[in-house]
Chains A and B, each alone.
Chain A
Amino acid sequence: MDFKSVLTREELVALSLRSIYASHGYTQYRMSKFEEYDLYAKNKDFLVSDNIITFTDTDGRLLALKPDVTLSIIKNDRDSEGIKKLYYNENVYRPSRGTRSFRELMQVGLECMGEVGETEIAEVILLAKMSLDAISPDNVLEISHLDIVSGVLSAFNISEEGRGRIYTYLAAKNERGIESVCEEEGLAPENTALVTRLATLYGEPGRVLPELSAFCLNDGIRAAVDSLSRVLTSLEAGGVRGISLDFSLLSDMSYYNGIAIKGFVSGIPTGVLSGGQYDRLMKKMNRKSRAVGFAVYLDEISKLSCLGE
């Protein structure tokens, strides 16, 4: 039977992603459609939207239709020795951007948990890139390292409030905005220029990595730069192309740390893949292990016309 004539583009992509993940030793994680509401209420900022569909179970407990998969996986999984590699293909329930009413969205993604090191991180980046390739050949995988950005801001003793504003401006590549906050914080002109440079620092790793030595203000930042550089060099040696560094890529620093990734496909106006390391979220949920993962948003893919055929 010809599945291609029966399945939608989203379903076909989901199938190929699942086989990619399975071939790299990831096993499928299945979960219930419902979860205790409390889990999401405690970690609201981690979610894309605060709006959650809730209902009362027969015994009076407040349940929610899951808006997110990562939190459920962490909650339902015990800390264990070694590395655990899981992937999922689940429906999540979130309000859509335009209509503000709830929609059922198909999400495929993977999580690598446990003693996560550079090898695992590099593999997750590789799988993210392969996922994008499965959607469309015309794609870019963007990478940032949050510890470099937050390290630079701490090294200059920028206040909590100032940091928040700089993150907002940095995410918008708004150089003027970053400059004004740095000036208010009393930074020397050369330091202001260094922080502002983060907004325009993007491009191929080969071009951007050598520039990072200017940001190594202390051992912490140097360690992050070295680690990023090793991960990217190993990927490059493995023949992975189409990766771009961009330090304006940020995620919520109370959950994420280290490497952040985001994937774009030409023709889709928003990112289709998003993820990174989330050791801080693990810690918040009392897990000892580290973790890295990403999710692919398949709902956007239907906007692509007849690709990959």
Chain B
Amino acid sequence: MERMLNIALPKGRLGERVYAMFEAAGYPCPEIKENNRRLIFENRELGIRYFWVKPSDVVIYVERGAADIGVAGRDILLEYSPDVYELLDLEVGKCHMAVAAKCGYEDDRSRTLTVATKFTNIAKSYYASLGREIDIIHLNGSIELAPILGLSDVIVDIVETGTTLKENKLEVVERFAEISARLIANKASFKFLGERIDLLRGKLRDVIGTSK
């Protein structure tokens, strides 16, 4: 029997949208829509197996080969730089990586800038490219609180509509990277399942084309 193609999808709203794209591309797995707590879903006829994992863990599953392919946000790819193939921009989950600060904030370049973020590596490389010295405070959530409470000067975070920022009297200083969901593949898996992965990529590309 042909080996199952393992697909890691990010749990949550983005994952559901992405699954709908896979379904439209001809890779359905009806069980997945049943409301249950299972983590793995198979469609034996098509030889595919989906599983839901925490969005930031998709890259780990794919890089380590537990999943052959997966869908991860570009923010996660930029942050962890996994050694994987990035095969397709799925053009969903679009947002920006941005610097934000309290309304009216002005940068004082004579001192070290304090940056609060979940994306330590992205923030480091962004400010390194500007030649700006920074101090990083790693937070796991509610990043917006940091400048309000004076914990940091600015934050580096994902901005979609900017509503959360506005409601907390913060504003975007600079948007510096476009983010969207990407189809990624394990490099070794691609050597052995390349044709199947390429076929799937082509079909997903068609789905993206028709939804435009």
A residues adjacent to B (C-beta < 8 A): 138, 140, 142, 172-174, 176-177, 202-203, 244, 248, 264-266, 268-271
Q: Give the distance in Å from the alpha carbon of A244 to the alpha carbon of B188 in the complex.
A: 13
| Alpha-carbon gap, A268 to B191, bound state (A) | 11
Chain A CB within 10 A, most for which of B66, B188, B189, B192: B188
A-B contact pairs, 14 of them (CB 8 A): A140-B192, A172-B84, A173-B85, A173-B86, A174-B86, A177-B86, A203-B194, A244-B191, A265-B188, A266-B192, A268-B65, A269-B64, A269-B189, A270-B65
Contact A138 B192 (CB under 8 A): yes
List the 9 closest A-B pairs by CB distance, nearest first: A269-B65, A174-B86, A140-B191, A173-B85, A172-B86, A264-B191, A264-B188, A266-B192, A176-B89
Other-chain contact of A142, B63, B85, B87, B191 (Cβ < 8 Å): B191
Residues of A within 8 A of B84 (CB): 172
Q: Is the CB of A269 within 8 A of B63?
A: yes
Determine whether B152 belongs to the interface, using a CB cutoff of 8 Å to chain A: no
Known: A172-B86, A177-B86. A202 touches B194 (CB 8 A): yes
Could you say which residues of chain A place their CB within 8 Å of the CB of B188? 264-266, 268-271
Q: Which single residue of chain A is at the shortest CB-CB distance from B189?
A: A269
When chains A and B are docked, how far (Å) is the Cα of A202 from the Cα of B89? 20
Nearest-CB residue, chain B, relative to A246: B191
User: What would 18 more interface pairs be, CB under 8 Å, given A173-B87, A177-B86, A264-B188?
Assistant: A140-B192, A172-B85, A172-B86, A173-B86, A174-B85, A174-B86, A203-B194, A264-B191, A265-B188, A266-B192, A268-B65, A269-B63, A269-B64, A269-B66, A269-B189, A270-B83, A270-B187, A270-B188
What are the residues of chain A within 8 A of B87 when measuring CB–CB?
173-174
Tell me how far the C-beta of B39 lies from the nearest C-beta in chain A, rounded to whole angstroms. 20
Cβ-based interface call for B186 (8 A)? yes
Q: Give complex CA distance A142, B84 in Å.
A: 16
Interface residues of B in 139-197 (CB under 8 A from A): 186-189, 191-192, 194
- B83's nearest neighbour on chain A, judged by CB, is A270
Q: How long is the Cα–Cα vector from A265 to B191 in the complex, in angstroms?
A: 9
Alpha-carbon separation in the docked complex, A174 to B63 (Å): 16
Known contacts: A172-B85, A176-B89. The answer to whether A271 contacts B187 by CB under 8 A is yes
In whole angstroms, what is the CA distance A172 to B189 when docked? 14
Which A residues touch B83, using CB under 8 A? 270
- How far is it, in angstroms, between the C-alpha of A142 and the C-alpha of B192 when the chains are bound? 11
Measured CB to CB, the nearest residue on chain B to A138 is B192
The smallest beta-carbon distance between A224 and chain B, in angstroms, is: 23
Residue of A nearest to B194 (CB): A202
Max chain A C-beta neighbours (<10 A), residue from B64, B187, B189, B192: B187
Given the complex, which residues of A lie within 8 Å of B66, measured CB to CB?
A: 269
CB proximity of B189 to chain A, nearest CB, Å: 8
Residue of chain A at shortest CB distance from B195: A203
- In the bound assembly, the distance between CA atoms of A271 and B192 in angstroms comes to 12
Q: Are B65 and A264 in contact (CB under 8 A)?
A: no
Chain A residues within 8 Å of B63, by CB: 269
Determine the chain B residues whose CB is within 8 A of the CB of A173 once the complex forms. 85-87
Contact with A along B82-119 (1 / 0, CB 8 A): 01111101000000000000000000000000000000
In the bound assembly, the distance between CA atoms of A244 and B87 in angstroms comes to 19
Name the residue among A172, A202, A265 with the largest chain B CB count within 10 angstroms: A172
Determine whether the beta carbon of B192 is less than 8 Å from that of A264: yes
- How far is A271 from B65 in the complex, measured between Cα atoms in Å? 11
Please give the distance in Å from A2's CB to the nearest CB on chain B. 32
Instruction: Across the interface, name the chain B residue whose C-beta is closest to A272.
Output: B188
Docked pose: A177 CA to B86 CA in angstroms: 9
Give chain A residues whose Cβ lies under 8 Å from the Cβ of B194.
202-203
A195 nearest CB across to chain B (Å): 16
Interface 0/1 of B17-37, CB less than 8 Å to A = 000000000000000000000
Q: How far is the CA of A174 from the CA of B85 in the complex (A)?
A: 7
